[in-house]
A and B are shown apart, each in its own frame.
Chain A
Amino acid sequence: MNTPIVPTQKYTTKDFQTDQDVRWCPGCGDYSILAQTQRVFPELGIPKEKIVFVSGIGCSSRFPYYMNTYGFHGIHGRAAAIATGLKLSRPDLSVWVTTGDGDGMSIGGNHFIHACRRNIGIKILLFNNQIYGLTKGQFSPTSVEGQITKSTPYGNIDHPFNPLLLALGTEATFVARTLDRDPKNMQYVIKRAAEHNGTAFVEIYQNCNVFNDGAFELWTEKGTKDDNVVVLENGLPMIFGKNKDKGVRLNGFSPDVVSLTDGKYSVNDLIIHNEKDPMLAFIIAGMSNNPALPRPIGIVHAIEKPTYESLIQKQIDTLTAKQGEGNLEKLFNHGQTWEIK
């Protein structure tokens, strides 16, 4: 082999760029996701040839063409299923799925929930722009009620999925959210997803500046972000606000916003984030359904559970230890046979 062997620690962002023209619309949030991914991958310590990006159909699904790793652009909705087969037969690979709210939540919803519940070691990045972009502007399963789109001229009457709650409903072991306009948080979340053992699900709020511009601006723009986003940090109280003057506390089972300056509540009254607490994860994920509450970003939930591929391997090892490696001769001749002389 003539290629120079590149030590993985020496990778740079450039090593993950391809010669393909990136064909997203100028100003699309996908550019940021690509940039953060290419920035963070050199730090993962995974040889490039061991990484595979798998996608379905949609704007987000062009992603694999732009990553200089192995890539597989599949068919609509089936990326999680394709990635499942790849990861099960090749547990040594780092397998990533890039999908969107149409591809992953609508046509591919079934594969998404089953991948999550099985805890297969694939990483799913959901580019959520609350719209169908590639088909030019129909509502998606995450479009908000009342949203005017090409296929809902009088307003969307579909109730949207909350992707985090959907993932938690499958008892997914890693659930996180990040923003296209928050590179630092995105890099952190992607890195954690990469390190997670099992299915890692990351919802990324991604602006479609052509068909649904500004859908997330309350949470991404400088002027409003601080007062409307709470960044989750494991073991720390849920504080937010430009002056770090607000917090989220539990009132019964419901989260509440409290002021830290009016003397009524202190930091000690706030929810301490715990990535490992499944009930808390539901409460935090559910906050997105209440406009009075800040939008949580970061790692919502992260626990360790045996992966599907490790359980298969265990069965293979156990049976092999008991019966020896598979032998065709033995298989063909076991049980009742007879000889014709």
Chain B
Amino acid sequence: MKRGTQRLDELTILFAGDSGDGMQLTGGQFTITSAFVGNDLATFPDYPAEIRAPAGTLFGVSGFQIHFGATEIRTPGDQCDCMVVMNPAALKVNLKCLKEGGSIIANTDSFNEKFLKLAGFTSNPLEDESLGRYQVYSVPITKLTQNALNDLNLSQKHIDRTKNFFALGLTYWMYNRPMEPTLNWIKEKFAKTPEFVEANTRVLKAGHAYGETTELFTVRYEIKPAQLPKGKYRSITGNEATAWGLIAASVKSKLELFLGSYPITPASEILHELAKYKNFKIRTFQAEDEIAGISSAIGASFGGALGATTTSGPGMALKTEAMGLAVMLELPLIIVDVQRGGPSTGLPTKTEQADLLQSVYGRNSEAPIPVLAASSPTDCFDTTYEAARIALKYMTPVIVLTDGYIANGAEPWHIPSIDDLLDLTPKFETNPENFQPYRRDPVTLTRPWAIPGTRGLEHRIGGLEKDNLSGNISYDPDNHDYMVKIRTKKVENIANDIPLAQTDGDGSGELLVVSWGGTYGSVNSAVHNKRSEGLSVSHMHLRYLNPLPNNLGQILNNFKQILVPEINLGQLVKILRDKYLVSAIGFNVVRGLPLRALEIEETIDELIKRG
């Protein structure tokens, strides 16, 4: 039988199985390999909050979706072309995301009576007619894995753990991916246990060979490298990019980085990542709670370090009072909120963007804080770096919003040249002559940063209202009025020091879609698709949410209609209506998942039809 190779522009694959099946690892390897061959890509890891949920259950299903291609990839894909399902529950949960005619690679060994029942199937879908609309490949992955390792002296548990590599090897064959990146990873990862190197290598190759030798698969696919800008690339997740943004800011400001943080999903990886790089003089302090996390960072910042704290929604709530202190003290501080489903504990492993109002307004009294949001995994680097610039230049806490989706998702990162990164070196006050802790720079309105150890500048600051020059406690009514207003003005003035908002598409027209944060990819694809159909629609994505860019109101007024899609019940839309008195409308779905481009497109159609 002659087998052909079909060329595709882009493709979406999903690996799904039990949370103990290693699907996140499998997806991660597929990502790195696809990035390595030069595809553009976006990923969506989706896993339960339980670490090892009971095997075979619907709620224990863990998935990793990768959208990769020879074209520009903006989202992890609304629907899949191919899904690898390690058990019936994985099939049940994900089937609705499979395209008509898509492929299913199923591990038949786990389609047994017990697991079928747990997944709620009354008959085996691989054997009845129910999957007739799809291309089903039934592969006894568990058995084939065992066969490959028969002669090795490994426990059943260890053998079972390698079966995800069989699936990975098979997909490498199907989609023409090289095995080398993963083989190298195996060698490095298991360097201390040669038997695991042997086992994983064999199983990966066995999966690949299975594709090659069985006649089950009639076609292979080829996805050419994308036309990305020239340069050196690596794959990076949002949380890694945030951590590296902080490291870069530390190097370029010549300040030692201090991270005060408390473990919380989905932000902990930033702490893990930074804890590795002690040779950058980074001090990571895993505090006793969220409050100590931010308080210690403020203390470090008082001492002249680059203070940062990282958290998610519930932790933001706990840090609120200390944020107000940082506003009062006017010390630089970076607060990263990796948003997750809420309120309360909510959906710890799922994404949401409902902390915007909390970030902009959620403190007692008038406590203005600049707020920036990252739009994609790699943008976490740039946004964090920019937050550090603003924090240091304006002596202010800055909030960086990312979310569970971009924090865990990965994409190719065009490695920046170190020399191109802006110098962030701050100026410490050293001159005791006429020193006043709250004397402001006439342009930036910032107070001097005078750190302990500087002779002659001994001074006291605190959370009580201060005299506008000396920083001494002041209960004077007019002084308080002045201080409340000057703190706000200082933050508002930052608008003069940030890029103007830009539209993707035309600068005026029928409909403007405004987005912020991790919905960038879905919204941008939706707008591009609709523009290619000739609709008068443009996209504007905002990184700066407080203060907003100076030209924003003007742009909003150039469009007849304004649509604001958000994974919340309408937060940016409230701010826009409030500030610019525009009749913007929201598109709001709060499922704990990224927005689908398709549903945004439908809304665009509707609005334009209505006119």
Contacts and interface: CB of A to CB of B under 8 A. Distances in A.
Contacts of B225: 340
Contact of B247 (A81, A92, A93, A331): A331
Interface stretch (A44-52, A131-139, A150-158, A198-206): A44-52
B299 A72 contact: yes
Contacts of A57: 463
A340 to B, nearest CB: 5
Interface string A205-246: 000000000000000000000000000000000000000000
Contacts of A74: 295, 298, 325, 462-463
A93 B460 contact: no
Given A83-B299, A85-B258, A85-B285, A72 B460 contact: yes
Contact of A337 (B229, B232, B300): B232
B431 to A, nearest CB: 7
Nearest to B233: A338
Interface in B335-392: none
Nearest to B255: A89
Contact of B289 (A47, A75, A110): A110
A114 interface: yes
Q: How large, as a class, is the contact surface on chain B?
A: 35 or more
Nearest to A16: B458
Nearest to A53: B460
Interface string B34-46: 0111100000000
A118 to B, nearest CB: 9
Contacts of B35: 336, 338
A328 interface: yes
Contacts of A48: 455, 458
B453 interface: yes
Interface string A240-279: 0000000000000000000000000000000000000000
B280 interface: yes
B416 A84 contact: no
B295 A78 contact: yes
Nearest to A64: B460
A130 interface: no
A114 B231 CA distance: 48
A84 B296 contact: yes
Interface stretch (A183-191, A295-303, A315-323): A315-323
B513 to A, nearest CB: 30
B244 A331 contact: yes
Nearest to A68: B458
Contact of A90 (B251, B277, B304, B416): B304
Interface stretch (A1-9, A28-36, A98-106, A174-182): A1-9
B461 A339 contact: no
Given A3-B432, A72-B462, A89-B256, A84 B292 contact: yes
B473 interface: yes
A332 B244 contact: yes
A75 B456 contact: no
A10 interface: no
Contacts of B251: 326, 328
A83 B457 CA distance: 19
Nearest to B305: A89
A55 B325 CA distance: 13
A339 B232 CA distance: 4
Nearest to B430: A1
B455 A88 contact: no
A73 to B, nearest CB: 3
Interface string B106-138: 000000000000000000000000000000000
B234 interface: yes
Contact of A85 (B37, B233, B300, B457): B300
A85 B452 contact: no
B36 A1 contact: no
B181 interface: yes
B36 A81 contact: no
Question: Which one of B181, B295, B322, B454 has the greatest number of beta carbons of chain A within 10 Å?
Answer: B295
Given A85-B299, A93-B453, A316-B281, A78 B322 contact: yes
B278 interface: yes
Contacts of B433: 2
A39 interface: no
Contacts of B287: 81, 84, 114
B295 A90 contact: no
B254 interface: no
Given A3-B456, A90-B304, A326-B281, A65 B473 contact: yes
B550 interface: no
Contact of B454 (A49, A324, A333): A49
Contact of A71 (B282, B301, B460): B460
A20 interface: yes
Given A73-B460, A81-B295, A86 B454 contact: no
A37 interface: no
Interface string B215-249: 00000000001001111111100000000100110
B233 A340 contact: yes
Contact of A89 (B244, B295, B300, B415): B300
18 contacts: A50-B453, A52-B303, A65-B473, A70-B458, A72-B299, A75-B324, A81-B295, A81-B296, A83-B299, A84-B299, A85-B258, A85-B299, A87-B299, A88-B258, A312-B283, A329-B418, A333-B232, A339-B231
Interface of B: 32, 35-38, 181, 184-185, 225, 228-235, 244, 247-248, 251, 256, 258, 260, 277-283, 285, 287-289, 291-292, 295-305, 307, 321-322, 324-325, 415-416, 418, 430-433, 452-464, 472-473
Given A78-B322, A337-B233, 7 more contacts: A78-B295, A81-B292, A81-B295, A312-B278, A329-B418, A336-B235, A337-B415
